Amino acid sequence: MDHATDDGTVRAHVGLICNPDHDVFGVVADRLRRRGLRVTVFAPGRELTEPELAELDLLMNKKVAPASVRALAAAERRGLATWNGYWTVLLGARFVGYSALERAGARVPPAATDPPEGEYVAKSPVDWHTAPDPERNGEGTVYQELVAAEPVDYKYYAVDTGRETVVRVLRTTSKLHGEKRPLGMVEPAPGPAATVRRLLALTDTQAIGVDFLRAEGEWYAVDVNPAMSFRNAGMETELVASVLARLPATAAQPLVDA
């Protein structure tokens, strides 16, 4: 829906489900505003009403939460354009995410609803933003076999800018061994990079994150994140381009560069 300013300028309206002070998506929202768009931030967990959805040209999601799922499902029903929409957020369900990763060509450690005989990682059934962190040999609903890897995660981020898919990789310490800390960026490896590109295409997603582990020369995908933070990845420019590319043709286009 188009919205006119006091001087008659027409602006597209973007809704963003996200913490208002997010250190990456707050920057993205500000850059979109500088390009002439109207951006409304909705707090995670807040139920969006039909009149609020009717005011939007595009709905973005940055939280895996029940209220987000309902808002994105409502957007899907009414034909509202989305950025990381309903079908994307469903990847937060562990077995849905694992199945999608396997279809994209990833090697995924076996997971079940009962613990295996050996070591494992206990996880929640859905990666809700309020869910506890995965725990080694702990209690959970989903039990994934532990990969005997170095205590480092390779976080692959992929963003579709509308012209290309950009992939970057952040190394971090593993939460299974203490507090997560960034260890710096590294070059993408061909196999995992191809996987995240295929996953993006298979799920019609605009931005995705996949956690990989390296063990005995092999790559294992252990989780998919449909609402990643992009902290320390330096991808704000790509995220802005991705959002702009998702604006429907009928929406008012950006007026200025930023």
pLDDT tens for residues 126-185? 999 999 999 999 999 999 999 999 899 999 999 999 999 999 999 999 988 878 899 999
Q: Which residue's entry shows tokens 């009403």?
A: 49
Residue 150 C-beta-side C-alpha neighbours within 13 Å: 11
- Is the Cβ–Cβ distance between 57 and 244 less than 8 Å? no
For 90-226, the fitting CATH number among 3.30.70.260, 1.10.3720.10, 3.30.470.20, 3.40.50.720 is 3.30.470.20
Q: Is CATH 3.40.50.11410 correct for 2-84? A: yes
Nearest residue to 124 (alpha-carbon basis) of 140, 138, 112: 140
Sheet holding 142-145, edge to edge: 111-112, 142-145, 120-123, 135-136
- Is the Cβ–Cβ distance between 124 and 132 less than 8 Å? yes
Contact partners, residue 132, CB within 8 Å, separation at least 6? 124
Q: Where are the domains of the chain?
A: 2-84, 90-226
pLDDT tens for residues 43-97? 999 999 999 999 999 999 999 999 999 999 999 999 999 999 999 999 999 999 9
